[in-house]
Structure 1
Amino acid sequence: MSWFESFVLGLVQGLTEFLPISSSAHLRLTAAFAGWEDPGAAFTAVTQIGTEAAVLIYFRKDIGRILAAWWKSLFDKQARQDHDAQMGWLVIVGSVPIGVLGLAFKDQIEGPFRDLRLIATTLIVLGIILGIADRLAARDDKGGRHRARRERKSLEQLNIKDGLLFGCAQALALIPGVSRSGATISGGLFMGYRREAAARYSFLLAIPAVLASGLFELKDIGEGHVSAGPTAFATVLAFVVAYAIISWFMKWISTRSFMPFVIYRIALGILIFVLVATGALSPHAGEAAG
């Protein structure tokens, strides 16, 4: 991997990680469109350490408060009633599905799941699901002629069942094209949570899974065409860009719809199918031989 490739891929990672459009799909597609070798699942996982560092800094007050309350709850039964302590436990519970499935399907994630036809399918399907969830949320927010405005749930109302369902939604992001934020936010909207609440929990829930995955995949950096130096550079760049994106995205979802992302996902998925069908792009473009 050249330094220029690492610059472009690091930029793409930072721009797309927290938007509901799938960073892993965009890394795969960027390499395929540019005629580069697929950076692979290990590169994706390691550069996500940079984007999660942005989450740690942006939500540092929330995270610090949750960690302190969670630690106290280990020794004080009374402290377990605190919402922040419960959030700590709920993040742990919600991280179980992606951890188990990630290990169980590691070979598929690094191989067959990177087929561009599968990525196109997941882009379109999750795009439609996100669109439906967004419309439901908008309907609840506005009410209607024959129905009252429905009050959506905040994170204070999050329970073990919902936390586990959030985790199951996040696990779908093991397939490139699904999008971690897109899946978890959609799940949250279907469960009746506010947009901001679903997005905030999505970001917090990703921390253990992404950091664990990135650290686990570190051992594979340096094998093949992906070397340590360019990967580190891409990770730092992803951190800088991702921090700006989080700030923008949290403001966006408080007043705007997800429909622009829905339209983009569906259009990109259709474009991929057209390019593959016409022979302009191989579904295995960039994959290492053997």
Structure 2
Amino acid sequence: MSTLEIIILALLQGLTEFLPISSSAHLILPSQIFGWQDQGLAFDVAVHVGTLLAVIMYFRKEVGAMAVAWLGTVGVGPEKGKQSFDGKLAWWILFATIPAGLFGLLGKDFIEEHLRSALVIAATTLLFGFLLGFADIKAGKRATHKPMEKLGFKGAMLIGLAQAIALIPGTSRSGITMTIGLMLGLSRASSARFSFLLSIPAITMAGSYLTLKLVLSAEGVDWFAMGLGSLIAFVSAYACIHYFLILLEKLGMMPFVIYRLILGVGLFWYILA
């Protein structure tokens, strides 16, 4: 890959991993539209590491509190035997990650062979964009919102099932999990925060799988591309999370809904032209 391709693809990964517009779609499309070569496993690992470090660093206080509280629920550490919401939230996130792991394990080959096309991306971009818009409008009209503490195990698992669907390119992991969060009564900010925290084990699983594939393959490693890609993905993802949460409070989801609708229509026009 050229340096320009590294920069563009790493920026796309960092900026779209946490926005409700589908990172997989934006990483697949350049190769299909511009004829770029596949970025390779090593680069995929690098940008996943960058985005994972960004979300952990941004939510380091929450992650630290959840880790300590979770250890306490299994009888380890300073909060041994204590029951707190942080410990409960950690369990919700761990269990809610299972559907995506199972779906990815069982369906990865089918997805790779049949669903990584511009046509599928165009359809899912529009469909789940409409759903996000519907959920955001309903949330905006709601007088009060359910606090995250009231989400419950069942609600967390529903969001986890939605995350599994996001393995289909164009769906957007953050988009569909925020959509379900809004439909369950959470505020925009709470939906986004739960989605971001849920992304940590999801990105970890995806990165671990790609790392295993890289280790087992004979693919060469471009250390410059990996280093630059990881750094750019980290910086852009961290900034994206920060400014997205600010924008969300002021404008809601509609700017991203409109973007998805324009992108979906544009893709259909490109495919059918």
Task: Decide: shared fold, TM above 0.5.
Answer: yes
Match of 1:196 in 2: 189
Q: Which runs of 4+ in 1 moved over 6 A?
A: none
Give how far 1:136 is off: 0.2
Is 1:205 aligned to residue 207 of structure 2?
A: no
Give how far 1:234 is off: 1.3
Is 1:218 aligned to residue 220 of structure 2?
A: no
Give how far 1:168 is off: 0.6
Rounded to whole Å, the distance in 1 between the matches of 2:88 and 2:100 is 20
Give how far 1:78 is off: 4.5
Match of 1:122 in 2: 124
Structure 2 unaligned blocks of 5 or more? none
CA RMSD, 1 decimal: 2.0
Is 1:55 aligned to residue 50 of structure 2?
A: no
Letter of the structure 2 residue corresponding to residue 67 of structure 1: A
Deviates more, 1:43-52 or 1:229-238: 43-52
**Mapped contact 1:45–1:214 kept (Cα < 8 A):** yes
**Mapped contact 2:72–2:81 kept (Cα < 8 A):** no
Deviations 1:94-115 (A, max 9, x none): 1010000010011123232211
Match of 1:25 in 2: 25
**Mapped contact 1:50–1:236 kept (Cα < 8 A):** yes
Structure 1 unaligned blocks of 5 or more? 141-148, 279-290
Deviations 1:192-214 (A, max 9, x none): 11111110010001111211211
Is 1:36 aligned to residue 36 of structure 2?
A: yes
Give how far 1:215 is off: 1.6
Match of 2:175 in 1: 182
Match of 2:256 in 1: 261
Deviations 1:149-176 (A, max 9, x none): 2x11111112110110010111111011
Is 1:88 aligned to residue 112 of structure 2?
A: no
Among 155, 165, 168, the alignment partner of 2:161 is 168
Letter of the structure 1 residue corresponding to residue 153 of structure 2: I
- CA shift in 2, pair 1:165/1:207, >3 Å: same
Is 1:245 aligned to residue 240 of structure 2?
A: yes
Give how far 1:227 is off: 4.0
Match of 1:66 in 2: 66
- CA shift in 2, pair 1:226/1:258, >3 Å: farther
Rounded to whole Å, the distance in 1 between the matches of 2:44 and 2:253 is 25
Q: Percent identity?
A: 41
Deviates more, 1:156-165 or 1:225-234: 225-234
| SS of residue paired to 2:250 | coil
Rounded to whole Å, the distance in 2 between the matches of 1:44 and 1:206 is 16
Letter of the structure 1 residue corresponding to residue 99 of structure 2: P
Is 1:15 aligned to residue 10 of structure 2?
A: no
Deviates more, 1:249-258 or 1:192-201: 249-258
Letter of the structure 2 residue corresponding to residue 158 of structure 1: L
Matches within 5 A, 1:220-235: 220-221=213-214, 227-229=221-223, 230-235=225-230
- CA shift in 2, pair 1:42/1:173, >3 Å: farther
